Structure 1
């Protein structure tokens, strides 16, 4: 199992990326795991040595360029072919690594995911999701959270299928409950998209559709998978992130509120592409990098993307 990591992406790279690699390896001892670290070799070597990262567990793939957080994604990938992100996707496409992780330019990661590797046959649009903590200790999944700001009903129908498969195999939830984000519980509520998506989801035998869910249900145990277009999903995601920030500012130490810390979930997997691509937050620290590796390992061990492919093609 070879997992590639963009060591130069993110506000605190490469220091926090190196610390994250060490953190993960201290907690896990998979003999079959090998990490391919993409980045500036002169910067990485002393940091890896200083942090005593076992040399047998990684290989440095030297790169000479970095795609900045504010650069235009497509232009940057074309012009910076020796960047850590571009070279990482080259290796992923060639089968030299099995998964790729980055906390760098989100747009570049999305462009790379959709054009360097194949979109699953039958998938109309790949999607990204976010983990939503529930008061009972469980976790929900919200998608889309920003990749697809405008959607058609068919997109939400596929998001529901992909989210259900991910929730089942990564979170261990049998027969996940799927809800459609809406402004009311009753069938027929909502805008044109919601009204058109409801009957499609209702007739989809591949999911356990429970109907509409409202904003007040997002953090409750109403649904395991909640689907919406990316505009609404991103608003909810950013609101959820602010809950943890406010709790920290107010010095509130609460077990539930602490679970809103994005770092404990690692990053966001792109669902609907052939190989695992994990996108981390730009402000990721060591814990986030460690948990991104963990997400990639779980996705590979469960072959969740293969199961997503099977589920999408069945409908």
Structure 2
């Protein structure tokens, strides 16, 4: 198992990535091999400083970096020697089994969509986010921004992929799938919600429980919550603010601390053939460690291939 890491992506690169790698090695007994893609002159001294020489890491030199403000498609095309472009080349050619970056989100999404094949039958890949529940459990929300506008068939696929991810990665047996709506009754909502409901109801690969409302998101009513990416991204950013705007509450109440994105690492792209995990631009060591651990689990469980089989059947 070989996991590729973009060492130059993110506001605190490459230091926080190196610290996260050290934390990962300290946390597991049989670590994966890590291929570190970045500027050797910056990465190698940090590996020495943090006593990572002799560990299962190898540095692949990348002389260019795609900055956060650059146009994703243009940058990937013009910066073939960037850490993100090299990472996707290695993933597409089978040199690595997963790719992680906290760099330019748009470039990561473009790379995932055009460098790595989508699973057979997938209309559009999706990205998800972990939602901490008040009872200590976790749920999954998708889409959270990749697909601002969706068709009912896409939401139906998101429900299937999200359900498999919740089973294999989050360890939820028979996850309950809810459609985010403005009311619980069948027939509620806009045209998209009304057309999606019967598809989810007929989907025998999921445990569909019907519509859920915004007030149900943080309680233990559904394990997988499906919506289009515009609504999902608004909810995601609001949830992140619960941790950011009042850190004092996080210290007093453990529940608020669970809104710290670093606990969950990054966002996997679901619907492509190989694991691609996108981290927040301000990711620190904890986020990098957890992104590596999520990638490792996705490889070990073969979760993406399970999604492909479910969508083909």
Measured against the shorter chain, the TM-score band is over 0.9
Deviation at 1:56, TM superposition (A): 3.4
Q: In the TM superposition, what whole-angstrom CA distance separates every residue of 1:192-231 from its partner, at most 9, and x where no partner exists?
A: 0000000111111111000001000000101000000000
Deviation at 1:27, TM superposition (A): 0.9
* Number of the residue aligned with 2:291: 292
CA distance in 1, matches of 2:306, 2:53: 34
Deviation at 1:253, TM superposition (A): 2.6
* Number of the residue aligned with 1:10: 10
| 1:103-118 equivalence runs, <5 A | 103-118=102-117
Does the aligned pair in 1 maintain the 2:152–2:196 contact within 8 Å? yes
Deviation at 1:310, TM superposition (A): 0.8
CA distance in 1, matches of 2:285, 2:6: 13
CA distance in 2, matches of 1:288, 1:100: 14
Query: How large is the Cα RMSD of the aligned pairs?
Result: 0.9
* Number of the residue aligned with 1:136: 135
* Number of the residue aligned with 2:28: 28
* Number of the residue aligned with 2:301: 302
Deviation at 1:251, TM superposition (A): 6.5
* Number of the residue aligned with 2:98: 99
SS at match of 1:55: coil
* TM-score where L is the length of structure 1: 0.98
Does the aligned pair in 1 maintain the 2:7–2:14 contact within 8 Å? yes
CA distance in 1, matches of 2:54, 2:111: 29
CA distance in 1, matches of 2:303, 2:69: 32
| 1:146-295 equivalence runs, <5 A | 146-248=145-247, 252-295=251-294
Question: Structure 2 unaligned runs (5+)?
Answer: none
Deviation at 1:44, TM superposition (A): 0.4
* TM-score where L is the length of structure 2: 0.98
Deviation at 1:246, TM superposition (A): 2.0
Q: In the TM superposition, what whole-angstrom CA distance separates every residue of 1:106-160 from its partner, at most 9, and x where no partner exists?
A: 0100010111110001000000000000111110000000000000000000000
Does the aligned pair in 1 maintain the 2:119–2:273 contact within 8 Å? yes
CA distance in 2, matches of 1:115, 1:246: 37
Does the aligned pair in 2 maintain the 1:247–1:253 contact within 8 Å? no
Does the aligned pair in 1 maintain the 2:250–2:256 contact within 8 Å? no
Question: Structure 1 unaligned runs (5+)?
Answer: none
Any runs of at least 4 consecutive aligned residues in structure 1 with deviations exceeding 2 A, and if so which? Answer: 249-253
Does the aligned pair in 1 maintain the 2:249–2:256 contact within 8 Å? no
Deviation at 1:30, TM superposition (A): 1.1
Q: In the TM superposition, what whole-angstrom CA distance separates every residue of 1:77-102 from its partner, at most 9, and x where no partner exists?
A: 00000000000000000000000000
Deviation at 1:296, TM superposition (A): 0.2
